[in-house]
A and B are shown apart, each in its own frame.
Chain A
């Protein structure tokens, strides 16, 4: 097993942790953290799989760099929406669905 493959396996585990967090956690800040964990897992899979035979590939690395910046933008937007929700309702959880 090369270190690249190990990165990819850890990335898959991080992604699944993040998905479970997004589904299970009600607190919005922690849900945003879980969402970021999902993103980091996906980036690790991309970079790790591309260099599993030992030689790094610049194309996925550049795509991940792009992805990191977009993830930062998405996180900031999510935080702004959370702040607005907190200012309007004083809560940090989304209201429950009626049929849930």
Chain B
């Protein structure tokens, strides 16, 4: 009975939403024009990066804070560290992982640099780096992480701290995260570099802290 009611209301919801979308008038506010008009002053030439790190920089600032918060919550939830190293994988997989990791680091640096003028940026680069860490872990080459010590803590919080420091430094101008156009490109690259490192460590940590209490079979 419950199943029938839920499925029926979900279908009703999809139907009414689809009908509304088909009738939808053009948006009253179109932000494409303003985004394109101020692109020259934003320090980067790719509109999505300009929105992420310049026009709506505070979104990105809070986003990295949310990621850090999730990691802290995970560290609070997972139990005592136990046997951390997973069983070594097949030698072919290990060799492939060793070969792929340097390439993934190169791709991450390229993505970070490309973010200024084409699709790319800190999040994509950080995700590729984190995937390299997870790959090494699954191949049995990288043990799960124990309770982080000072260096890892600095790496995890560094991107957020750097972003916050830039925001605080620019607060003297009166508006949060309003970059001076002459410095905008350099500041965005600086923030994105810090974000890449911290995001990679955080995203890898989401996996590697979770798997640290895995007991080897």
Q: What residues of chain A have their CB less than 8 Å away from a CB belonging to chain B? A: 5, 8-9, 12-13, 16-17, 19-20, 23-24, 49-50, 52-53, 55, 57-59, 61-63, 65-66, 68-70, 72-74, 76-77, 79-81, 83-84, 87
Say yes or no: A80 contacts B24, CB within 8 Å: no
**Closest A-B pairs by Cβ, 4 of them:** A73-B70, A58-B47, A76-B206, A62-B51
Q: How far is the CB of A7 from chain B (nearest CB, A)?
A: 10
Known: A66-B52, A77-B74. A23 touches B6 (CB 8 A): yes
Which residues 132-167 of B sit at the A interface, judged by CB distance below 8 A?
A: none
B interface: dominant SS: helix
In the docked arrangement, what's the CA distance between A57 and B10, Å? 29
In the docked arrangement, what's the CA distance between A16 and B15, Å? 10
> A77 to chain B: which residues have CB within 8 Å?
70, 73-74, 77
Say yes or no: B206 contacts A84, CB within 8 Å: no
Q: How far is the CB of A24 from chain B (nearest CB, A)?
A: 6
Residue from the list B35, B48, B50, B70 in contact with A65, Cβ < 8 A: B48
In the docked arrangement, what's the CA distance between A81 and B70, Å? 11
Taking each of A8, A53, A55, A83, which has the highest tally of chain B beta carbons within 10 Å of its own beta carbon? A83
> B35 to chain A: which residues have CB within 8 Å?
58-59
A interface: dominant SS: helix
Q: How far is the CB of B66 from chain A (nearest CB, A)?
A: 5
CB-CB nearest in chain B for A23: B6
Which residues 33-90 of B sit at the A interface, judged by CB distance below 8 A?
A: 35, 47-48, 50-52, 55-56, 59-60, 63, 66-67, 69-71, 73-74, 77-79
Say yes or no: B59 contacts A81, CB within 8 Å: no
> B48 to chain A: which residues have CB within 8 Å?
58, 61-62, 65
Say yes or no: B21 contacts A87, CB within 8 Å: no
Say yes or no: A80 contacts B73, CB within 8 Å: yes
CB-CB nearest in chain A for B73: A77
Q: How far is the CB of A46 from chain B (nearest CB, A)?
A: 12
Say yes or no: B206 contacts A12, CB within 8 Å: no
B100 at the interface (CB under 8 A from A): no
Q: How far is the CB of A85 from chain B (nearest CB, A)?
A: 10
In the docked arrangement, what's the CA distance between A16 and B10, Å? 5
In the docked arrangement, what's the CA distance between A19 and B169, Å? 44
In the docked arrangement, what's the CA distance between A24 and B1, Å? 11
In the docked arrangement, what's the CA distance between A65 and B66, Å? 14
B123 at the interface (CB under 8 A from A): yes
Known: A24-B6, A84-B77. A59 touches B51 (CB 8 A): yes
Say yes or no: B70 contacts A12, CB within 8 Å: no
In the docked arrangement, what's the CA distance between A24 and B17, Å? 21
